[in-house]
Amino acid sequence: MKIIVIGNGIAGYTFASLMIKGLDYCRVEVFSDEDFSPYYRTRILSLLDGGIQPSALEILPRIEDERYSLKNLHVDNIDCENKLVYTSDGKTHQYDVLVLANGAKANVLPLPGGRSRGIFALRTIDDVYALSSWLETHKDHVVVVGGGLLGLEAAASVASSAGCDVTVVESAGHLLPRQLDRDSAGYLQGRLAKMGVKVVCDVKTSNFLSDGDDVSGIKCDDGFLIPAHTVIESVGIRPNTFLAVDAGLEVERAVVVDDHLRTSADDVYAIGDVAQFGKVVAGQVSAAMDMARTLASILCGKDASYTPSSPSSMLKIAGLDVISLGDVYGGDECIVNEGGTFREAYHLKAGVLVGCTLIGSREHFSSARGAIGKPFAEVRESLGL
pLDDT band, residue 88 (cuts 50/70/90): very high
Residue-wise burial string across 341-364, b where 16 or more C-beta atoms lie within 10 A, e elsewhere: ebbbbbbbeeebbbbbbbbbbeeb
pLDDT at 47 over 80: yes
Of 3.50.50.60, 2.40.160.40, 3.90.470.20, 3.40.50.1370, the CATH number of 119-233 is 3.50.50.60
Residue-wise burial string across 143-164, b where 16 or more C-beta atoms lie within 10 A, e elsewhere: bbbbbbbbbbbbbbbbbbbbeb
Residue 232: what pLDDT? 96
The fold for domain 319-383 equals: Enolase-like; domain 1 (3.30.390)
- Strand ranges (E), 164-254: 166-170, 197-201, 205-211, 214-220, 225-227, 230-233, 237-239
Residue 66: what pLDDT? 95
pTM beyond 0.85: the answer is: yes
Residue 314: what pLDDT? 79
Q: Where in the chain are the domains?
A: 2-105+237-299, 119-233, 319-383
What residues form DSSP beta bridges with 77?
Answer: 86
Output 352 or 50, whichever has higher pLDDT: 352
**What is the architecture, at CATH level 2, of domain 2-105+237-299?**
3-Layer(bba) Sandwich (3.50)
Quick check: do 2-105+237-299 and 319-383 share a fold? no
Can you tell me the distance from the alpha carbon of 119 to that of 130, in angstroms, rounded to the nearest whole number? 10
Q: What is each CA distance from 319 to 29, 95, 154, 159, 206, in whole angstroms?
A: 38, 45, 13, 13, 33
Q: Which pLDDT tens digit goes with each residue over 299-342?
A: 999 999 999 877 677 777 777 899 999 899 888 999 999 988 99
Q: Which pLDDT tens digit goes with each residue over 255-284?
A: 999 999 999 999 999 999 999 999 999 888
Can you tell me the distance from the alpha carbon of 243 to that of 199, in angstroms, rounded to the nearest whole number? 38
Residue 21: what pLDDT? 95
Kindly list the strands in the beta sheet with 214-220, ordered across the sheet, starting from the edge strand earlier in the chain. Answer: 205-211, 214-220, 225-227
Residue 284: what pLDDT? 85
Residue 258: what pLDDT? 97
Contacts of 251 (CB under 8 A, 6+ apart): 241, 244, 245
Burial class (CB in 10 A: 0-12, 13-18, 19+), 89: exposed
Of 141, 146, 150, 136, which is closest to residue 172 (Cα–Cα)? 146
pLDDT band, residue 371 (cuts 50/70/90): very high
Q: Radius of gyration of the chain from Cα atoms?
A: 22
DSSP character string of 110-168: --TTTTSBTEEE--SHHHHHHHHHHHTT--SSEEEE--SHHHHHHHHHHHHHS---EEE
Q: Tell me the average pLDDT of the chain.
A: 92
Count other Cβ atoms within 10 Å, centred on residue 140. 11
Residue 173: what pLDDT? 92
| 296 close to 19: Cβ distance less than 8 angstroms | yes
Residue 49: what pLDDT? 78
Residue 331: what pLDDT? 87
Q: Which stretch of DSSP H or E encloses residue 244?
A: helix 242-246
Residue 340: what pLDDT? 81
Segment 81-85 mean pLDDT:
97
pLDDT band, residue 92 (cuts 50/70/90): very high
Long-range contacts at 283-289 (CB < 8 A, ≥ 24 apart): 283/104, 283/236, 283/237, 284/311, 284/312, 284/313, 285/10, 285/40, 285/42, 286/312, 288/9, 288/10, 288/11, 288/14, 289/10, 289/11, 289/14
pLDDT at 194 over 80: yes
